[in-house]
Amino acid sequence: MSVSDQSSALPRCPWAGDDALYRHYHDAEWGRPVLSDTRLFEKICLEGFQSGLSWITILRKRERFRAVFHGFDIARVAAMGEADIARLLTDTGIIRHRGKIAATINNAARALEIQREFGSLAAYFWGFETRPEHRPDDLSWAALRLLAQTDASRALSKDLRKRGFKFVGPTTCYAFMQAMGLVNDHTEDCFCRGAVEAERAALTRPTPLRQRPPL
């Protein structure tokens, strides 16, 4: 059996399916803890674009999103304006939704404010990490597929919206938290679960410049 065949035969979370791009995303990215402000900003924006769509649709367009939004450089995106929105509405390589495009630019400006307040987006977002005792005991696919939002994702959504972010509902925020490793929602039988848990255990959480006030 080839290495490729062995990889295909490994037990995965069922949502990864048979698509090679989706499987690679599942194996190499999803759930791995992220501290990069650029990647965190990219993901919260792309989760907003996903609203009403499937993630594989966004994943297939991700490289074009990166190209038109300057690699999700936060300051450069915050400097974009109406002319950029008009241009992007003609770009068939992305999701041409005026509200979501405008929200990305708005959210960049809000992200800069968070960086100034907390020192980094990472310090802010990781402050919403779910405590171990609040995680479910049942990590089967049947249970996890029904877990669309949590107290932590509702708290994050509430705080982001209070700060002026758009397209950051509690379900969107939970998908973001799952993808960026703030929780480990690989199923109990998935071959990635142990590796992700080890990465989370070894992670040094960032210390914010100031503590977030209680909601």
Going 110 to 115 to 118 to 121, the CA torsion angle's sign is positive
Q: Which of 47, 124, 126, 174 is catalytic?
A: 47
Candidates 20, 90, 100; CA nearest to 59 is: 20
Q: Is 210 helix (H, G, I), strand (E, B) or coil?
A: coil
Which alpha helices (H) appear in the chain, and where do they start and end? 3-9, 20-28, 37-50, 55-68, 74-78, 82-88, 98-118, 121-125, 141-144, 151-162, 170-179, 193-202
Q: Which of 22, 55, 124, 126 is catalytic?
A: 55
Candidates 41, 34, 97; CA nearest to 66 is: 41
Cβ-based neighbour number of residue 99 at 10 Å: 11
- 201: buried, middle or exposed (CB in 10 Å: 19+, 13-18, 0-12)? exposed
The amino acid that residue 194 corresponds to is: G
Q: Which of 25, 117, 129, 141 is catalytic?
A: 25
Is 15 known to be catalytic? Answer: no
Is 25 known to be catalytic? Answer: yes
Active site (catalytic) residues: 25, 47, 55
